[in-house]
Structure 1
Amino acid sequence: MSSPILDLAGVTLEVNHLPRGVRFYTQVLGLPLLEHDEDRGVAHFRVNDAQTLTLWKPVTRQPNDPRLAPLHARGASHLHYAWQIQPHELDRCKALLDEHGLPWQEIDLGTPERPDPTVYFFDPFGHGLELRGVDLADERQPVYPPTPEDGERGPHALPVLGLREVALAFGDYPAMKERLPRAYGFALAKEQPDRDFAQFTLGPEPEPDGNGTPRRWLYAWDPQVGLADMFGGDHVYAQFYARVEEVRGRVRAAGLPHVEESGVLAVRDPEGHVFEFRPPR
């Protein structure tokens, strides 16, 4: 059966200092700021025409998004997530990270025949960021393909094209591996043989990861230190494009708490993550 999950729409990070987060993501990533509300503890950025990044500063006795209050949604803590770049921009990205005074680590995720060098670094709040090259001509395209911004991000900002992946931690790994396909419809692509690490394709069918695919991904693992000393996120709030009616049927059959407004479905996973499913634009 085809997966109802279509693509990655956005991710929300938890921060303890909103202005510092705004400076980092506007200056280092070059993201246009759409909203900055100190009273609500919210900053909202445009990534591209189909994806967003949001920062939440927790405010006592006040949900950052009242719509999600019944689900007790929080922004992700120490999330590992990845950005797509064009491969020829990798050296420039490393120079820009040096310019901003940000330590980085390069790891080759490819093979000797087809290298896939990837750069890892941290934001000011301990979230782990990854820059992964993407072949824009690859046939494995997501619903909303990455497209160059033609210098829109500015000369000192990383030339990111879009969000590539989010990595979540699950205390009960076997239950997660069964639940994500059944209760939401995520397409399990593969597991790593040497650790509890599952890769889910954010698309209609499971596909191979790596080597330049423009597809987007959900990674899930037990609490562990991953590559470049990065953790999977706790209480992650992530947004996906999906065939919402199909996801709704699965969620109701699984008995998971959820809210729905204007065709957008938000669900609280038993591990505390909140997944939001939006209809295609």
Structure 2
Amino acid sequence: MSLSPILDLAGLTLEVNHLARGVRFYSQVLGLELARHDEAAGVAEFVVNPHQTLTLWQPITRQANDERLAPLRPRGASHLHYAWQVEPSDLEPSKGLLDAHGLEWQEINLGTEDRPDWTLYFFDPFGHGLELRGVDRADARQPHFAPTPVQRPPHALPVMGLREVALAFSDYPTMKERLPRAYGFALAKEQEDRDFAQFTLGPHPEPDGNGTPRRWLYAWDPQVGLADMLGGDHALVRFYADVDAVGALVVAAGLPCLRDDHGLAVRDPEGHVFEFIAG
């Protein structure tokens, strides 16, 4: 099996209906560093860590939030489910921080009784589903950019970085064939009881598991999942990759794309737009 050209998760773009409210939430609750706030363009960009970003787009009628990507007609994701990496010891204190911000949360064990893997779920003000997942930084299964603690304000959740993003696909069988063929994503696992696939954002397919520092793309049918989470529609997601290798696959698949000094951007048949940048 050839190596996947996908290296890591670089960034997400969320759609919001009130940009200033989004800036307050992600600055105060997550403690992210605001790098750009442009009300006229409907854009706010945050630095998550030295290698990852989170962007908010407020739609503006007849105006593109990003002129460079406008030919691909991208939108920020709606009701996106995504996860953050945190130290396992920070999960318990995070409950108090969520309470202090007036946010409801659920705690679910994704492991077993013998080897628990506790995670916290909550929502932002726009219906995006967030998750805090403990990561064992000593685990040998390392991503391209290893998770590293980031100094956050005392009132903010102690997130290190983005762990996963979950996208909805209406045509699940076609998606499962297309993502490896047209982009090179490494299919790692499927659930037995649902159309739910896990793609490792790295050179080899590996099963998800307790504490892994690896990062993931989850792809599932448009159903409500665990903790009332939904996969995102018309998402804009950025990945680190071997851009030339992905570009060859995309061209062979005949997908609409653009290539410039920033990297490669592709419009998927389901309406998602994927960006691939050099790692």
Output the CA distance in 2 between the equivalents of 1:250 and 1:263. 18
1:110 corresponds in structure 2 to 111
State the match for 2:120 in structure 1.
119
- Per-residue CA deviations over 1:139-178 (Å, capped at 9, x if unaligned) read 00001111011xx210000000000000000000000000
How far apart, CA to CA, are the structure 2 residues paired with 1:183 and 1:208? 22
Q: Is residue 2:218 matched to residue 1:219? A: yes
Structure 1 distance, partners of 2:132, 2:15, is 20
What secondary structure sits across from 1:47 in the alignment? strand
Matched, 1:146 2:153: no
> C-alpha distance in 2, partners of 1:114/1:156?
30
Alignment correspondent of 2:248:
249
Alpha-carbon distance in 2 for matches of 1:243, 1:254: 17
Shift of 1:250: 0.3
Superimposed CA distance per residue, residues 115-160 of structure 1 (whole angstroms, 9 cap, x where no aligned partner): 00000000000000000000010000001111011xx210000000
Which TM-score applies when normalising by structure 1? Answer: 0.98
TM-superposed deviation, 1:109: 0.2
Superposition deviation, residue 221 in structure 1: 0.3
**Amino acid in structure 1 at the alignment position of 2:81:** H
What does residue 80 of structure 1 align with?
81
What's 1:266 paired with?
265
The amino acid of 1:56's aligned partner reads: W
- Cα-to-partner distance string for 1:25-54 (whole Å, 9 max, x where unaligned): 000000000000000000000000000000
Identical-residue share of aligned pairs (%): 75
In 2: Cα distance, 1:85 partner to 1:176 partner: 30
User: What displacement does 1:261 show?
Assistant: 1.1
**Distance between the aligned counterparts of 2:94 and 2:79, measured in 1?**
22
1:263 offset after TM fit, Å? 5.0
Q: Deviations 1:189-221 (Å, cap 9, x if unpaired)? A: 000000000000000000120200000000000
- 1:223-280 deviation digits (Å, cap 9, x = unpaired): 1000100100000000000000000000000000001110500000000000000001
Structure 2: which 5+ residue stretches go unaligned? none
Asked if the contact 1:244–1:263 (Cα under 8 Å) also holds between the matched residues in 2, the reply is no
Code of the aligned partner of 1:221: W
Task: Name the structure 1 match of 2:50.
Answer: 49
SS in 2 for 1:66: coil
Q: Which runs of 5 or more residues in structure 1 are unaligned?
A: none
Paired with 2:162 and 2:43, the residues of 1 have a C-alpha distance of: 20
Q: Tell me the C-alpha RMSD between the 2 structures.
A: 0.5
Q: Which amino acid aligns with 1:206?
A: P
Write the letter of the residue equivalent to 1:78: H
CA deviation vs aligned residue, 1:53-98 (integer Å, no higher than 9, x gap):
0000011111100011110000000000000000000011111000
Report the secondary structure of 1:241's partner residue: strand
Query: 2: distance between equivalents of 1:263 and 1:95?
Result: 40
Q: Give the aligned residue type for 2:96.
A: A
Work out the CA distance in 2 between the residues paired with 1:182 and 1:113: 38
Match of 1:173 in 2: 172
User: Per-residue deviation at 1:111?
Assistant: 1.4
- 1:187-198 paired onto structure 2 within 5 Å: 187-198=186-197
